Amino acid sequence: MIISQNKPFEEILGFLKNSEKIVLTGCGECASACNSGGEAELIAIKAKLEDAGKQVLAFIVPETSCNYLLVRRDLKKIKESIDEADAIVSFACGDGVQTVAKQVKIPVYPGNNTLFIGEVERVGKFSEACRACGDCVLGLTGGICPVTRCAKSLLNGPCGGAKEGKCEVNPENDCAWILIYEKLKELDQVYNLTEIREPKDFSKIAYPRTLNLRNSGGGAIK
């Protein structure tokens, strides 16, 4: 899940300093789950913008804001409002903002900050789980990601600065490599720690990345 949270309201107003007529969009998937872009949030933001003197012409929560075709379908439902509007504020992740922006000829501003790819621990509580590095090592580390969970993204063991099992960079976090060791011990795979891993090949995450399943078969196992 893409974890996001609303930008400060004053920052949003700053984007809209030259805009009076506004359309709001959200996301029915990740942002809704994060309480940053569902229907309830858009209704609340609409009221705040109107109190600030803005005219909100319409709002809509696309089924999935990062799906180009679904967003195009849903935007057609409020086409007249979009044609009249000065700007759109998208309360989705950064990808959702861009998906909307590709389809309109007015400015589209982000209403959210995109934080991380996360795990839903329970309702309303999320933790970062994946950095989308393009070269997954979870099979060697007991299903615990050192790139994400270690503050230094170390690949060959701990830095040596942990105290009482806690990270020296952020003592609120457990040391990722102690967690990895304990998990590998539980799985009887401690031998994985004897393998020296090469430095990350950052060419695998040369931005922007694409995946075309039509041409290459994509991620399918052959």
* Residue-by-residue DSSP string for 85-154: -SEEEE-S-HHHHHHHHTT-SS-EEE-EEEEEEEEEEETTEEEEEE---SS--GGGTTT--HHHHSTT--
Across the chain, mean pLDDT equals: 91
Supply the pLDDT for residue 53: 97
Burial of 202 (0-12, 13-18, 19+ CB in 10 A): exposed
Domains of the chain: 2-115 (3.40.50.2300), 133-197 (no CATH)
The structure tokens 């007249």 sit at 80
Taking residue 127's Cβ as centre, other Cβ atoms within 10 Å add up to 13
The structure tokens 């600065």 sit at 161
Output the six-digit token pair for 9. 């309201």
Out of 101-110, 163-172, 200-209, least confident range: 200-209
pLDDT in tens, 118-137: 888 888 888 888 888 888 88
pLDDT in tens, 161-195: 999 999 999 999 999 999 999 999 999 999 999 98
| Cα 87 to Cα 102: distance, rounded to the nearest angstrom | 13
Average pLDDT over residues 20-26: 98
Residue 21 in contact with residue 46, Cβ under 8 Å?
Answer: no
Supply the pLDDT for residue 221: 45
Q: What percent of the chain clears pLDDT 70, i.e. is strictly above it?
A: 96
Sheet holding 87-90, edge to edge: 55-60, 21-25, 87-90, 108-110
Q: pLDDT grade, residue 88 (50/70/90)? A: very high
**How many CA atoms within 13 Å lie on the side-chain side of 213?**
3
Beta-sheet pairing, 21-25 with 2-6: unpaired
Flag whether pLDDT at 8 surpasses 90: yes
Judged by DSSP in three states, 30 sits in helix
Residue 122: C-alpha distances to residues 33, 34, 118, 126, 163 (Å) = 11, 11, 12, 7, 28
Q: pLDDT grade, residue 222 (50/70/90)? A: very low
Residue 54 in contact with residue 14, Cβ under 8 Å?
Answer: no
Crossing angle of helices 68-76/94-101, nearest 10°? Answer: 60
Q: pLDDT grade, residue 216 (50/70/90)? A: low
Supply the pLDDT for residue 173: 94
Would you give the distance in Å from CA 9 to the centre of its chain? 20
pLDDT in tens, 32-68: 999 999 999 999 999 999 999 999 999 999 999 999 9
